[in-house]
């Protein structure tokens, strides 16, 4: 396998960011989150970045063709020559189709899509349990990283609050959007034989170990062809 082009898929709170950062360190591949790529293109004032900024400044959604263009621009860079890790893109089947078409033009393709599988109830438990301090933004969790004194930040003593994004009704709404818009990608990539399911309701270290085993198997299968 000359290059490893990965897409991380899963609901909010599934741990994609955590695993993406670990993969970046293990594989020494660039890790691209959609928002980061867009902000970098705007900051660097690339042509596509300028176009995206016009939509963002107007409060409009950036069209798929612009987002795909910005992302492919990053994937064409020297640092992504040996592969890449995409997180947060594609979000819809049309975006996936557009990405595949652009990569095909470059003689490349997505090798594997890692679906980190987590139930809705677990997502609500993970995100709904977060508590953020008002002053410094330090994050705690009622189950995984509780403060020494309930409702008080260990670091600066300011009150801990539930952010709007972490309220159960908002989380459920985000999950509904995921199921409607993004979950169809599971079937899309499964039909192309690149989908790999990862059991995400375990410790991060265990999820990481399964991802490593999955990628090792993928390499062996590729070498056997």
Catalytic residues: 16, 91, 130, 163, 174
DSSP assignment of 151-167, as one string? Answer: TB-TTT-PBEE--GGGS
Cis peptide bond prior to 90, omega within 30° of 0: yes
Distance CA 150, CA 153 (A): 8
DSSP assignment of 132-193, as one string? Answer: EETTT--EEETTTB--SBTTB-TTT-PBEE--GGGSHHHHHHHHHHIIIIITHHHHHHHTTT
3-class SS at 123? helix
Evaluate whether 33 touches 20 at the Cβ level (below 8 Å). yes
Evaluate whether 223 touches 1 at the Cβ level (below 8 Å). yes
Contacts of residue 98, defined as CB under 8 A and 6 or more positions apart, other chains included, come to 64, 65, 68, 90
Evaluate whether 190 touches 112 at the Cβ level (below 8 Å). no
């Amino acid at each position: 396998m000359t290059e490893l082009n990965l897409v991380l898929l899963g609901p909010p709170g599934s741990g994609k960011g955590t695993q993406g950062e670990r993969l970046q360190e293990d594989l020494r591949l660039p890790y691209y989150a959609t928002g980061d790529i867009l902000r970098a293109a705007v900051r660097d004032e690339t042509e596509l970045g300028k176009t995206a900024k016009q939509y963002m400044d107007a409060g409009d959604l950036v069209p798929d063709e612009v987002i795909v263009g910005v992302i492919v621009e990053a994937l064409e860079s020297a640092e992504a020559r040996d592969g890449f890790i995409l997180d947060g893109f594609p979000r819809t089947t049309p975006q996936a189709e557009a990405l595949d078409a652009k990569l095909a033009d470059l003689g490349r393709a997505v090798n594997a899509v890692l679906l980190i599988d987590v139930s809705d109830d677990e997502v609500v438990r993970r995100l709904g349990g977060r508590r953020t301090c008002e002053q410094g933004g330090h994050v705690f969790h009622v189950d995984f990283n509780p403060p020494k004194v309930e409702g008080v930040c260990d670091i600066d003593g300011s009150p801990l609050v539930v952010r709007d994004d972490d309220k159960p009704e908002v989380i459920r709404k985000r999950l509904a959007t995921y199921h409607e818009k993004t979950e169809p990608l599971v079937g899309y990539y499964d039909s192309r034989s690149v989908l790999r399911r990862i059991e995400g309701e375990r410790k991060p270290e265990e999820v990481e170990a399964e991802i490593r085993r999955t990628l090792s198997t993928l390499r062996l299968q590729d070498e056997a062809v």
